[in-house]
Amino acid sequence: MTNTEPPEFRPGAEFPGSEEIFEISDFTVVTELEQFVVSVEAIIHEWGLSGTETRPGPPKLTNITKWDSKSEKIQFGEGNHLRITHFWPDIEEALEALPTPSTSSIAHLGYHSLGLASPDSDFYPRNNIVAMYAATEHIVFSPWHPEDDKIVNEDQKNTIISAIRIAALSCDCELPMFLQYSGLERQLYHGVLITRSTVTMYEGAHLQAGQSRHSHLSGLLQMFKEKVKCPIPLIDASDIRVSAQIEITHKITSAEMNDDQLIDVCRVPFGSELNPIKSLVLIALWPNLKEEILNEDETLSDLDPMSAFAWSARVNFTHVDRFLDDALHKLLDLPISKFHFETAALLLGIDTNSPTSGARAFDGLTGSSRSLRIGASQSLTNPAGLNLEDPLLPLPNEIMNYWIGEIFMKNRSETPNDEMQSLELKEKHFDKKKTEKEIVEELKKKFKMVKSAPEGSVTARLGNAFTHSLVKANYGPTTFAQVWYEFVRKLRYFYENNKDIPGMTSVEYPDLSMCLLHQKIEMLQCCITARKKRHALYESCNNFTNDEFFDAEEDLSDDSQREEQIQCTEPFGRLRLLDEEMMLKDHPEIPIYVPITQDREPMTEDMIEEHAHYLSSLEDGQERTEAQTDMLKSDMQAFKAANPGCSFEDFLRWHSPKDIIWNEEERKWELSERMLIPENSWLNCWEHSMPVPVVHQKRLFNESKRAEEILSWLESSKCGQISELIRPVVFAQAVRYLLNEVEPVLSLIEPEKIVFSTIRACRSGSRDDFLEAAREIRRIETILLHYQAIFSALDLPMAKNGPARDVVALKEFVLKLIEEEKLIKDIPEDCVISHGVPIIGGPNEFVGDSMQKLILNSKQKSKPNVTKRQYVLRWLVPRPSAQSRLCPQRLFASLSKKEFRLCGAYTDDAIFR
């Protein structure tokens, strides 16, 4: 490592990039090692860490202590670089100086040496070096490049450590300093701490497996004693203190969900097929005991979790496919899949042109190579056997019929069932609960503005059925297509049989604040209503001719030719008297009647857009007016028919009373100025209107034509289009479901994000916005899924009957478990100590009791599955000689199936040797 070549002159600015490299151009030093030492010293000075013995000690660490760090790049030798990092607990409050040691026997120890003797940092989970070496504030040298700068042999290690030692000494820096050995993931450190009275060497070992004689506490104690080589008789030395911590892992076996196709299609599918919990870990702790109190060797062990001093727990999750997330992504992928331009019928292999198409003729059997799936569970769920023509559909007929029946069910309630409510623990009142409930209610209120389909509507239930069709692995675009195909077929059935679509009887106009699909279904209902109304009108009218009525039924063309010039002398199509006092201008003995009028055509948003586009394509206001006179004309015709002998003034008294003014002086009705304008549209229209009652008029709303348009539009929609139409419904239903369930996990999530991202996506319709919404939904779905999984693992029924205090404790515990799991995932390095959520009261309290039942008693296992054992041994003895003062010795050991780790800190008196 060291050589005698003179260093080259390297100005720091020569190196590109933002990394500042510490480089001292000092020609008084000769070797590269000395160059390195000088660089380290410079950094220690710059960071203000020299003379640290005067600094107050670090505070007591807690689990919420935040860590801060600062790094520099430092050159070592010709081509290597190390990273030097200073770690310290970031505590806002002024660091409290450690109280001066009460016993004079350890008065010579600095605070870092004292830390070695204190149990405070035992099994500290947030920082590996603290856990391994009890070094609260420290400096670490690690390879800059994980491979190229790796320390791979003892010689390299010893050389660098001695250099660090020189630098620390000359700077008077009393901070523990460590060098990371081997690969970063091994977390193997060696180091040194030099104070004015002691020298501590930190020695690490990391093996895949240790020797069997070291695999228990008594073997470790033996080894520790051999290493320390206590120079005085053991009988005179103080006791070794021992802390131990064991982990018992309970693996959750992934139970498959019941594969029942008669699922509740009207509820949003939620959950996962496999259990998301991989394992639950119980951590039992015995802190700071005398050596003889705790025994463990090959044959016996005092480490029975039931006798532990403290319990904590941890959960490990595994990635599983979640129903909602799975479905939403499949839905979003449809428009970019190869199926996107196929219609539902095509995808199913249904020949819509064949004369028997209505009777479900499938060409799949006769050689069509289309990707028709055979329902995997068909033979199981249909032992009776189906029609031979059917088997090529993904969902068997009876199941499909059940689905469709559920979708079109009237007043189907979608509120969560009782089981779910118990999960939410609604009955337990708890102060915080109120505000959580309020938050959710507020979000639900905000979500009402989403452009989708109303909760509980046919469309919403269709959305849920679609979600189901997308969920399971063996479902695919064909199932999706089948649901659509059957749904549209059912809509046609309703229309052709003059039956109201369930739950839509009161629809007058399509609700434009809803999504297009819902508007279209509402529009279809408007057509059904209009047709029923028209039929009723014909029936109530005595003068109609039979053939005309039946013609109208099938007539899909513009029925202008039917509008004959009927000269009415008899009043026709009167609805009611306008006002008893109002008489015809030219026939003061006849009152004015309000005629039966036609309704305007209801419009969906795309129709309005089209109409507005058409209007704006017209040259001027005059043309636009002309284009919109149809209703005015219809009204005028109807009025004329109902009021033979009437005048324009009479019409205005009904239709636009502001335009007819009573002239007191001349005692007559006069037209307003604007109606007197020659050639004005109103007058023109009046003059060209014949008396025609509504029954004989051209229909303003040709409902049969519209209905046919809507149905064939739905039928011919391609899969990509269908998925875009149904998107707002499926997403809104997912959010509504989650909002009903999130209350217990509210503290872990940001529910407003699903609300706003979904509102935004439903409004813009952009796939990117939907992807964003899907991401937010997934986040909440995962946490909720985890929450519910832990609850059911811990056997919820017990909790239901227990006192409220227990349930609240359990709920908080579960939330902390999830929170902790998230936190651990965020820590990049491999944690030597796994941190658990404390179980207050251990097995004696409700939470611990649940854990114990699950982990220790489950499956009548005689021996709990201990997966990890960790120990800290502490000893205060004179070292290296009997004349030396007391020096702290410490050994941390971690034993698991995967690794055997030893971290020793051995201190020598530097003065009395």
Question: Contact residues for another protein (CB under 8 A)?
Answer: 449, 451, 509, 512-513, 597, 599-600, 603, 605, 608, 612, 615-616, 621, 624-625, 627-629, 631-632, 635, 655-656, 658-659, 672-675, 677, 680-682, 753, 756-757, 759-760, 772
Q: How far is the CB of 628 from another protein (least distance, A)?
A: 3
Q: How far is the CB of 616 from another protein (least distance, A)?
A: 7
Q: How far is the CB of 606 from another protein (least distance, A)?
A: 11
| The CA-based dihedral angle spanning residues 798, 802, 804, 805, taken in that order and rounded to the nearest 10 degrees | -90
Q: Are 286 and 243 in contact (CB under 8 A)?
A: yes
Q: How far is the CB of 793 from another protein (least distance, A)?
A: 34
Q: Are 171 and 41 in contact (CB under 8 A)?
A: yes
Q: Which residue has the tokens 């679509």?
A: 501
> Exposed/middle/buried for 234, CB within 10 Å: 0-12, 13-18, 19+?
exposed
- Relative to beta strand 21-22, strand 66-76 is parallel
Q: How far is the CB of 674 from another protein (least distance, A)?
A: 5
Q: Compare residues 154 and 768 and give the one whose CB is closer to another protein.
A: 768
DSSP string of 183-209? Answer: -GGG-EEEEEEE-SSEEEEEEEEEESS
The one-character DSSP state at 501 is P
Q: Coil, helix or strand for 644?
A: coil
Q: How far is the CB of 437 from another protein (least distance, A)?
A: 24
Q: Compare residues 46 and 609 and give the one whose CB is closer to another protein.
A: 609
Q: How far is the CB of 610 from another protein (least distance, A)?
A: 12
Q: Please, which contacts does 670-675 make with residues 24 or more away whose CB atoms are closer than 8 Å? A: 675/648
Q: Compare residues 200 and 597 and give the one whose CB is closer to another protein.
A: 597
Q: Are 602 and 701 in contact (CB under 8 A)?
A: yes
- Relative to beta strand 837-839, strand 80-90 is unpaired
Note if the bond before 880 is cis, omega within 30 degrees: yes
Q: Compare residues 207 and 608 and give the one whose CB is closer to another protein.
A: 608
DSSP string of 717-762? Answer: -BHHHHHHHHHHHHHHHHHHHHHHH-GGGGGG--HHHHHHHHHHHH
Cα 17 to Cα 12: distance, rounded to the nearest angstrom: 11
Q: How far is the CB of 675 from another protein (least distance, A)?
A: 7
Q: How far is the CB of 160 from another protein (least distance, A)?
A: 44
Q: Coil, helix or strand for 879?
A: coil
Q: How far is the CB of 45 from another protein (least distance, A)?
A: 41
Residue from 454, 518, 462, 526 nearest 489 by CA: 462
Q: Coil, helix or strand for 242?
A: strand
Q: How far is the CB of 657 from another protein (least distance, A)?
A: 8
Cα 724 to Cα 562: distance, rounded to the nearest angstrom: 40
- For 668, phi then psi, to 5°, come to -150, 165
- In SS3 terms, 409-427 reads as CCCCCCCCCHHHHHHCCCC
Cα 109 to Cα 909: distance, rounded to the nearest angstrom: 10
Q: Compare residues 156 and 625 and give the one whose CB is closer to another protein.
A: 625
In 701-797, the DSSP E strands lie at none
The one-character DSSP state at 161 is H
